């Protein structure tokens, strides 16, 4: 187990190293002079020279990257050009709201996805299965921003059940979380349904039924556990994706999360904040994937054994 975890951590560190290079080079990918882009066309040569020196862009590229990494190890992600506050402070102020939205949306997705997946597999090739399949197809096909606008029009404008935007309490959270949850649930539902159909056709399931075990025990104790690994994979990726910033959903509902922060940084050409947000979310994404890999080995030790045999 220790070797398995160590391998995952080492591979994650390599990925984070790659993300750090990408985030560092973001400012160098921009055509033209990034400093003039940040300051605008009316900037004086003195202002350009001052900001260039402040950002360290007057030094060789390798020296810049070395200083960038050294600052990161000290927790210094730079300073926002728009607010003058440390980038890490800006990110950490918004991150709890993104976590709140992502976790609540994921809970909705898991409940809907696994429940409908089990239901569809239990009543395979019936009208219930077909309805669940239609739901999954619609969830994949409908753009998330369109669903968000539809929910706002129905539940906020027409019925006035929920506020439209500008809040962070529970009632403000329901509509954006439901939007994310419904969209994310479709993949979980399809994966659960297909896995359950395959498992329910196995000999040991028929033996359990022949012994007179209740359907509930067969579905949840014997069948569901054997399809959890791919489902856990999707859930982990969904959580990482949601934490990465559901930018469009946050914008529709004016939710003050990382997605809104990143988009605002792009609009204001705040490149230190863009760099910091990209790197921070890269670290979060990699960390979640490592935790999911470790969870695999807890659910099914054969995953760890497979890694040992391959090595």
* 226 within domain boundaries: yes
Kindly report the CATH number assigned to the domain that includes residue 114: 1.10.3720.10
The tally of domains found in the chain comes to 1
Q: Which residue has the tokens 């999707």?
A: 234
* 3 within domain boundaries: no
Q: What is the full per-residue pLDDT of the chain (311 aa) written as tens digits?
A: 677 678 778 888 888 888 888 888 877 776 666 677 667 777 777 877 887 777 777 788 788 888 888 888 888 888 887 788 888 999 998 888 888 888 999 999 999 988 898 888 888 888 988 898 888 888 878 888 888 888 888 888 888 788 776 666 777 888 888 888 888 888 888 888 888 888 777 777 677 777 676 777 777 666 777 777 778 778 887 887 787 657 778 888 888 888 888 888 887 777 888 888 888 888 888 888 888 777 766 665 555 545 444 44
Are residues 231 and 198 in contact, defined by beta-carbon separation less than 8 angstroms? no
Q: Name all contacts of 22-25 with Cβ < 8 Å and 24+ positions apart.
A: 22/278, 22/282, 23/275, 23/276, 23/278, 23/279, 23/282, 24/64, 24/65, 24/68, 24/275
Which run of H or E residues covers position 194? Answer: helix 170-200
* 33 within domain boundaries: no
* 151 within domain boundaries: yes
3-state class percentages of the chain: helix first, strand second, coil last, to nearest 5: 80, 0, 20
Find the domain containing 196 and state its range. 93-268
* 158 within domain boundaries: yes
Task: Say which residues have a Cβ less than 8 Å from residue 144's Cβ, sequence separation at least 6.
Answer: 179, 180, 183, 246, 248, 249
* 13 within domain boundaries: no
End-to-end CA distance of the chain: 14
* 217 within domain boundaries: yes
Q: Name all contacts of 170-173 with Cβ < 8 Å and 24+ positions apart.
A: 172/253, 172/255, 173/100, 173/101, 173/104
* 211 within domain boundaries: yes
Burial (Cβ within 10 Å: 0-12, 13-18, ≥19) of residue 209? middle
């Amino acid at each position: 187990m220790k070797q398995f975890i160590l391998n995952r951590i080492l591979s994650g560190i390599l990925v984070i190293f790659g993300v750090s290079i990408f985030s560092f080079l973001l400012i160098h990918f921009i055509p033209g002079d990034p400093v003039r882009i940040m300051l605008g066309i009316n900037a004086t040569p003195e202002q350009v020279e001052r900001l260039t020196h402040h950002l360290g862009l007057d030094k060789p590229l390798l020296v810049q990257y070395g200083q960038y990494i050294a600052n990161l190890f000290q927790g210094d992600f730079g300073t926002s050009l728009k607010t003058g506050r440390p980038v890490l402070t800006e990110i950490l102020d918004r991150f709890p709201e993104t976590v709140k939205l992502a976790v609540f949306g994921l809970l909705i997705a898991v409940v809907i996805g696994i429940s409908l997946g089990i239901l569809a597999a239990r009543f395979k090739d019936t009208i219930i299965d077909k309805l669940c399949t239609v739901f999954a197809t619609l969830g994949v096909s409908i753009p998330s921003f369109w669903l968000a606008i539809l929910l706002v029009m129905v539940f906020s404008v027409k019925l006035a059940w929920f506020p439209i935007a500008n809040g962070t309490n529970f009632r403000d959270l329901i509509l954006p979380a439901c939007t994310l949850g419904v969209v994310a649930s479709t993949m979980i539902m399809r994966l659960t349904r297909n896995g359950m159909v395959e498992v329910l056709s196995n000999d040991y399931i028929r033996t359990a039924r022949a012994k007179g075990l209740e359907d509930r025990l067969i579905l949840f104790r014997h069948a569901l556990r054997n399809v959890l690994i791919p489902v856990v994979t999707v859930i982990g990726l969904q959580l990482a994706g949601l934490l990465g910033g559901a930018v469009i959903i946050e914008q529709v509902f004016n939710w003050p999360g990382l997605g809104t922060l990143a988009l605002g940084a792009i609009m204001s050409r705040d490149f230190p904040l863009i760099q910091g947000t990209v790197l921070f979310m890269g670290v979060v994404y990699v960390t979640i994937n490592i935790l999911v890999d470790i969870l695999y080995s807890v659910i099914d030790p054969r995953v760890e054994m497979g890694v040992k045999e391959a090595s």
